[in-house]
A and B are shown apart, each in its own frame.
Chain A
Amino acid sequence: NAGVTQTPKFQVLKTGQSMTLQCAQDMNHEYMSWYRQDPGMGLRLIHYSVGAGITDQGEVPNGYNVSRSTTEDFPLRLLSAAPSQTSVYFCASSYDDRGADTQYFGPGTRLTVL
């Protein structure tokens, strides 16, 4: 049981480039989410999904897209990277379909945009 996995661990992009951060879980959780963590800002919700085919915006969705074609996978796409998107990104999953239960976090992706 791998839990929540994320790839890559580290990434450096140039302004304007696009990329996809991968997230997968093997716990059959319906709820998955993406957060970004910046120094002194806590974790802020980007997008979340309450099941395959369903996604919704969180607090800071601009510049990011998501899709949920399977229960296991929840990729996060940066459309045109900007320096303001330099951050650590965490994916999380939860048994409860509103996230009102233990959120299991992945190991994180550290992204730098130059």
Chain B
Amino acid sequence: GENVEQHPSTLSVQEGDSAVIKCTYSDSASNYFPWYKQELGKRPQLIIDIRSNVGEKKDQRIAVTLNKTAKHFSLHITETQPEDSAVYFCALLSGGGADGLTFGKGTHLIIQP
């Protein structure tokens, strides 16, 4: 199946700074790229997604960028706050006909006060 590499596995930033998490993939037919946030002991929740016909999407302090040529997409969080501390997962849907999301292994984001 499709493989998605997510980096870094842990990211510690000062409150107010920006955080960037990157995912790379191999299947050029992939066409849907969501990001999920999971707080400790809770279920994953969608925070933003992007489709292959768009290069960037923003929602307040969160943005996602997609580079189809280089096959990577990134999550950007600006002006980080303590409530941003969580594990973030990238995912993608292969365009090859297989259904279901493939997830990265996750990034533990720690916001230092």
Chain A interface residues toward B at CB < 8 A: 31, 33, 35, 40-45, 48, 50, 56, 58-59, 90, 98-100, 102-103, 105-108
A108 to B9, CA, bound (A): 23
Q: Are B100 and A99 in contact (CB under 8 A)?
A: yes
User: Closest residue of chain A to B44, judged by CB?
Assistant: A105
In the bound complex, CA of A40 to CA of B105 (Å): 6
Contact A100-B31, Cβ < 8 Å, known A42-B89, A45-B100, A50-B99: yes
Q: Which residues of B contact A (CB under 8 A)?
A: 1, 6, 9, 31-32, 34, 36, 43-46, 49, 51, 89, 91, 93, 99-106
* Residues of the A chain whose Cβ atoms lie less than 8 Å from the Cβ of B105: 40-42
Chain B residue with Cβ nearest A50: B99
Contact A103 B99 (CB under 8 A): no
Given the interface pairs A59-B1, A100-B32, A100-B93, the reply to whether A45 lies near B102 with Cβ below 8 Å is: yes
* Known contacts A98-B93, A99-B93, A100-B31: A105-B102 contact under CB 8 Å: no
10 pairs of residues in contact across A and B, judged by CB atoms under 8 Å: A31-B99, A43-B44, A43-B89, A43-B101, A43-B103, A45-B100, A100-B93, A102-B46, A103-B34, A107-B43
Classify the secondary structure of B's interface with A. strand
Measured CB to CB, the nearest residue on chain B to A35 is B103
A109 to B23, CA, bound (A): 28
Query: What are the residues of chain A within 8 A of B104 when measuring CB–CB?
Result: 42
Min CB gap B27→A, angstroms? 14
A42-B105, A59-B1 known; A33-B44 Cβ under 8 A: no
Q: Which residues of B contact A98 (CB under 8 A)?
A: 93, 99-100
Residue of B whose beta carbon sits closest to that of A107: B43
Pairwise interchain contact A44-B45, C-beta atoms closer than 8 A = no
Residues of B within 8 A of A108 (CB): 43
Contacts of A31 in B (CB 8 A): 99
Given A59-B1, A99-B93, A100-B93, are A48 and B43 neighbors across the interface (CB < 8 Å)?
no
Closest Cβ–Cβ distance, residue A84 to chain B (whole Å): 18
- Asked if B103 and A99 make an inter-chain contact with CB atoms under 8 angstroms apart, the answer reads no
